[in-house]
Structure 1
């Protein structure tokens, strides 16, 4: 039996949650997310961009998100982010605004705009608290009254599930997130007992893990995601290095001792000596 692939890979995630035949899986996942946030469950979800053969890692720049519409016309966007691309908050706002404004055709009234919900599943910690599920709305600072309910942002942070290493018997969102995080397969039976629709997600994952073409496409996407993450990390490191050099140059101009500059900037004394000679 082939080793199970990682459902956090966005290509695989969309195959499991964003295909027409698995629309019930997406609906069950969304409902556990909304119920935990104190909201009523959905009755149905219409996929606006269901998985097709065009959704392959060959189009490396593609964003493999899932967009759906509720029975009331509200729009929902779900995205899996395996690596931290940074500026997550601004990126979220940008894509939410495109989803919201994209509803309006020329000449239409603003009244036609429906609520848009963004759900980001993050394989990294983002927010400065211990909650694995955070929900944001537009509220007045002091009174807490809502300005409008059209914006709703969910952040599901998988690393914060460390306190939930085993399935929760009462069911709920934790079990779905444990599946995505790759909980030991020995716990799958308990997960299925608590969340019956999860079995279909598990069956899909097992099927894709044994399919040669799906595995090849998965590996292509995984390589691209790793390369992209490495480039981002490299760019950030280069940015930090330039800041350190600039700091060292400014301290040198003030006559600060080289050993002190080395401690403050993180640069080696030999690097600072070379910088001093260069200047």
Structure 2
């Protein structure tokens, strides 16, 4: 029986494909597609190639890709499957850590290099229809750029519009996002014929999918991520329940206030569900 390909959006697989020293061309192609530099990146040094088993089993760990480009840019790529509603704050925090960690005591500030964070999201997050957004520091009124030392990108996979497989030309970034969305799509199959990096990424995905050891690690990581998503969903549900209960209580208090002049405390307690002590306290506060 033919095995299905592993999901390249699972960070374990993403890191194996885009963060491997065995095929740096994949990462270089992806970075050039995202950053669109005037002069293409020609080389990368991948920093965190190891994947410790403890990280795979930890549902709150981050298996991101870190690299330094031929232009001495520091790049961090993170892929997220679940909306935690904090991606902007989180990305700014990680960016600031990467920027700050470049300096040792006594170093000059001019040693600091351009630092870029790329967030790949499997959910819609920003309030626009573009699947790719890049941000830098700019003047509020004139839009004049202060510096390109800080750059943060968001790639929202669900916002990529359906690509016609008969289309002659597909933007390289669209091709990479389509690969993450559906590596077996007709679009990706067509791109494999003309784009050697996408073909290389597909070959590596196929290799991982056929390797028993890699599949075992993949399923451990997939379970960890499912556990994290489940924990976040439960937290959201409890938060909503708490919010509803708080809203119902506030409504009961307002009703109690309006009835104090026409009904006795015992009757108000029955009608609102508040205790007699609570209504007595409301009566004191109203005075």
Would you call these one fold, judging by a TM-score over 0.5?
yes
* Correspondence for 2:266: none
Map Cα deviations across residues 168-200 of structure 1 (whole Å, 9 max, x no partner).
Answer: 532311011101111544443311134221111
Structure 1 residue 58 and structure 2 residue 57: aligned?
yes
The structure-2 alpha-carbon separation of the partners of 1:166 and 1:85, relative to structure 1 and needing over 3 Å to count, comes to farther
CA shift at 1:58, angstroms?
Answer: 3.2
The structure-2 alpha-carbon separation of the partners of 1:104 and 1:157, relative to structure 1 and needing over 3 Å to count, comes to same
CA shift at 1:205, angstroms?
Answer: 0.5
* Correspondence for 1:233: 233
* Correspondence for 1:4: 5
The structure-2 alpha-carbon separation of the partners of 1:198 and 1:209, relative to structure 1 and needing over 3 Å to count, comes to same
Structure 1 residue 218 and structure 2 residue 224: aligned?
no
CA shift at 1:152, angstroms?
Answer: 0.5
The structure-2 alpha-carbon separation of the partners of 1:223 and 1:39, relative to structure 1 and needing over 3 Å to count, comes to farther
- Once residues 244 and 181 of structure 1 are traced to their aligned partners in structure 2, the CA distance between those partners, rounded to angstroms, is 36
- 2:207 aligns to what SS in structure 1? helix
- 1:77 aligns to what SS in structure 2? strand
- 2:246 aligns to what SS in structure 1? helix
The structure-2 alpha-carbon separation of the partners of 1:18 and 1:51, relative to structure 1 and needing over 3 Å to count, comes to farther
For 1:43-82, what aligned pairs fall within 5 Å after superposition? 43-52=42-51, 57-82=56-81
Map Cα deviations across residues 191-233 of structure 1 (whole Å, 9 max, x no partner).
Answer: 1134221111000101111111111111111111111111112
Unaligned runs of 5+ in 1: 257-271
State the Cα RMSD in Å. 2.3
Structure 1 residue 90 and structure 2 residue 124: aligned?
no
TM-score normalised according to structure 1 size: 0.87
* Correspondence for 1:169: 168
- Once residues 167 and 82 of structure 2 are traced to their aligned partners in structure 1, the CA distance between those partners, rounded to angstroms, is 26
Query: Is the CA contact 2:42–2:70 (under 8 Å) kept in the aligned structure 1?
Result: yes
| Number of residue pairs aligned between Structure 1 and Structure 2 | 263
* Correspondence for 2:133: 134
Query: Is the CA contact 1:55–1:64 (under 8 Å) kept in the aligned structure 2?
Result: no
* Correspondence for 1:206: 206
* Correspondence for 2:35: 34
Greater CA radius of gyration, 1 or 2? Answer: 2
- Once residues 252 and 221 of structure 2 are traced to their aligned partners in structure 1, the CA distance between those partners, rounded to angstroms, is 47
- Once residues 246 and 219 of structure 1 are traced to their aligned partners in structure 2, the CA distance between those partners, rounded to angstroms, is 40
TM-score normalised according to structure 2 size: 0.84
- 1:150 aligns to what SS in structure 2? strand
Query: Is the CA contact 2:59–2:227 (under 8 Å) kept in the aligned structure 1?
Result: no
* Correspondence for 1:265: none
Structure 1 residue 192 and structure 2 residue 213: aligned?
no
- Once residues 216 and 275 of structure 2 are traced to their aligned partners in structure 1, the CA distance between those partners, rounded to angstroms, is 53
